[in-house]
Amino acid sequence: NKYKNFRCSGCVTGVRALNSRNFSQILRSCQYKCERHMVLLEAEDRYKKNILKTYVIRQRITLTPVKKSF
């Protein structure tokens, strides 16, 4: 079925296809996202970027060796 390839992966039905572990990756690799899933992904990305940023900052704080003053 030719049209199957043009379907938004986020909208695919079928009991076993999508789960919490693969959903994000599958949606991301889909070229034909519907508007709703596109908007969701973009908003999630902004949120995730912020979370990662705080991770990096937290790591920098714990990993930077403290300079001892003589």
Give the residues lining the site for other proteins (CB under 8 A).
9-15, 18-21, 23-25, 27-28, 35-37, 39-40, 43-44, 46-49, 51-52, 55
15 or 66: CB nearest other proteins: 15
- As a whole number of angstroms, the distance between CA 62 and CA 39 comes to 35
Neighbours of 18 (CB within 10 A): 17
Least Å distance, CB 18 to other proteins, is 5
Least Å distance, CB 64 to other proteins, is 20
Half-sphere exposure of 42 (CA within 13 A, CB side): 7
